[in-house]
Amino acid sequence: MPEELGIALVELERDKVEEAVKSKAEKGESPIQILEECRRGMIIVGERFQRGDYYLAELMLAAEILNGVTAILEPYMANVRPSESLGKMVLATPKGDIHDLGKNIFASLLKAHGFEVHDLGVDVDPSLIVAKATEVRPDFIGLSVLITPTFASMKQTADMLEEAGLRSQSKLMIGGGVTTPAVRDYVGADFQTLDATEGVDYCIKVKKGR
């Protein structure tokens, strides 16, 4: 169960969330821990959406609140990041999907841990993901989805990365509430998770050679 901050996020209480984040950050609490509380709240937001208790409007509001949280924490995250980038990530919600809650929290956690994140946004065509991967040569490419029709888009992205000779240079990660190990195998990804923290841990382990 999330703590007070997470509960305020679940209830979509923007002012309470922002006040709690500012208070915690000013008292010296780790930005990573604050984001973790938000992540636990976002899990419940996602569950309410899946059950039909929340609709797209509530999901979009939660995303706006989370964006506000990351904006507040940005100066504090700059103080705890390593001086050198731990690795590069190209991140996107693929073509056909406009949901970005999971992607945004994952991006924030990656940045807090010292990764360089190139977030392409939502409804991103596979060709744009390949173009960005060609440009920045990332260590990781992350695809986040919340609806099943985007599985084909993820597969197309993986195939195009292979055709461009980029697939072997990056770890391809997929995540989101509808992904499973079977979807990972269909796409040809290296890693699948429903948990943003687990995804960050995977990136750290890969970079540290564990």
CATH of the domain at 57: 1.10.1240.10
| One domain for residues 35 and 138 | no
Supply the angle between the helices 56-80 and 101-112 in degrees, to the nearest 10.
Answer: 0
DSSP 8-state assignment for residue 113: T
| One domain for residues 122 and 188 | yes
Which of 80, 114, 133 is at the close of a domain?
A: 80
Contact status, residue 140 vs residue 88, Cβ threshold 8 Å: yes
CA proximity to 147, closest of 107, 87, 95, 84: 95
Facing residues of 116 across strands? 88
pLDDT band at 172 (very low <50, low <70, confident <90, very high): very high
- Residue 161, domain CATH: 3.40.50.280
Which of 16, 46, 80 is at the close of a domain?
A: 80
Q: What is the pLDDT of residues 97-106, one digit of tens each?
A: 988 878 988 9
| One domain for residues 63 and 113 | no
| One domain for residues 10 and 108 | no
Q: Give me the chain's average pLDDT, please.
A: 92
| One domain for residues 149 and 96 | yes
pLDDT band at 42 (very low <50, low <70, confident <90, very high): confident
Query: Quick one: three-class SS letters along 71-94?
Result: HHHHHHHHHHCCCCCCEEEEEECE
Structure tokens at 110: 């990656």
CA proximity to 33, closest of 84, 92, 80: 80
For residue 73, the enclosing domain spans: 1-80
- Write down the pLDDT at residue 81: 65
| Helices marked H in the chain | 4-10, 14-26, 31-51, 56-80, 101-112, 126-136, 151-163, 181-187, 196-207
Q: What is the pLDDT of residues 149-159, one digit of tens each?
A: 999 999 999 99
Looking at the structure of the chain, the number of domains it has is 2
Structure tokens at 121: 């946004």
How many CB atoms neighbour CB 4 within 10 A?
13
